[in-house]
Structure 1
Amino acid sequence: MATSSNLFGKTGEQIAKNHLEKNGYEILEENWRTGRAEIDLIAYKNKTIIFIEVKTRSGTFFGHPEDFVNNKKQKLFTDAAEEYLYQTQHKGEIRFDIISIILDKDATTPNLKHIEDAFWNY
C-alpha cells in the first residue's frame, strides 16, 4: 500500500518527467533498479545519457531537497549508473543531475530546480 510520502514523491517524479520532456529530453527509464540502488529517471539528450535523482520536499525547514543527496546516496546512484551502462553498452557521454522540487501542501505550485552536472563520482 502506498504511503502519503510515496505518493508525494511520485508526484514530484511526474513533475520532473514533464519538465524534462518539455525541454527536449527523451525518457529512457523510470525508477530503474539494481541491487539496493534506484535511479529515478534516466533520460537522453544531445547524445548524452542523464541519470536523474528527483528530490521532493514540502519546504526547506530541514534544508533544500538537493541537500539530501549525500555522498552515500551519490555512491549508490553512480554504482547503479555503472550497471546501467554495462547492460546497455553505452559508450558515450553521461551526466548526473538532480531535480529539486518543493511542493506546497496542496501540491499545486511546484518550485522546480534542475541542477545539471550536480556531482561526479564516476
Structure 2
Amino acid sequence: MAEHLITGEKGEDMAAFFLQKSGYEVVGRNYRSGKAEIDLIIRKNDWLIFVEVKTRSGVAFGYPESFVSPVKAALLKRAAEEYIFAVDWKGPIRFDIVSIILSRESAEIRHFEDAIP
C-alpha cells in the first residue's frame, strides 16, 4: 500500500478514537458515493456530522486542514446528501474537519467544527 494511503488510514483511525473519547459516536467510515468519500460519519446529541480527516507528516506545505479544496467540499456535500436520503435523516447536520500532524514521537490532533459552509 502506498505510504500516503497508510498515513491517511492511520489518521482516520486516530480521528475516530479522538472523537469517541470526546463523546461522539462513530456511525460510519469511508462512505462512498461516486467519486466522493466521507471519511467519518459521527453523531452527538441530535447532530449528524460528516468529517473530513486530513493527515500530514509535517507542515512544510501547509496545515492539513488547508487541503480541503472547494471541489472536495462539494463532493463531500453531495455524498452527504445521498447518505441523508438513504437513512432518512431529519435532524441537523454539519461538516467538520479533523486535522492531524504526525511526528515520530506524537500527533497533534485538531477538531474544527462546522468548518465547511
For normalisation by structure 2, the TM-score amounts to 0.97
Corresponding residue number in structure 2 for 1:118: 115
Corresponding residue number in structure 2 for 1:79: 78
**Residue correspondence of structure 1 range 1-122 to structure 2 within 5 A:** 2-104=1-103, 106=104, 108-120=105-117
For normalisation by structure 1, the TM-score amounts to 0.93
- Between the aligned partners of 2:2 and 2:36, the Cα distance in structure 1 is 20
Mark the runs of 5 or more structure 2 residues left unpaired by the alignment. none
1:46, distance to aligned residue in structure 2 (A):
1.1
1:111, distance to aligned residue in structure 2 (A):
0.4
Structure 1 runs (4+) greater than 4 angstroms displaced = none
User: How many pairs were matched up?
Assistant: 117
Identity percentage over the alignment?
A: 49
Amino acid in structure 2 at the alignment position of 1:22 = K
- Between the aligned partners of 1:119 and 1:29, the Cα distance in structure 2 is 19
**2:9 match: secondary structure:** helix
1:53, distance to aligned residue in structure 2 (A):
0.2
Amino acid in structure 2 at the alignment position of 1:39 = I
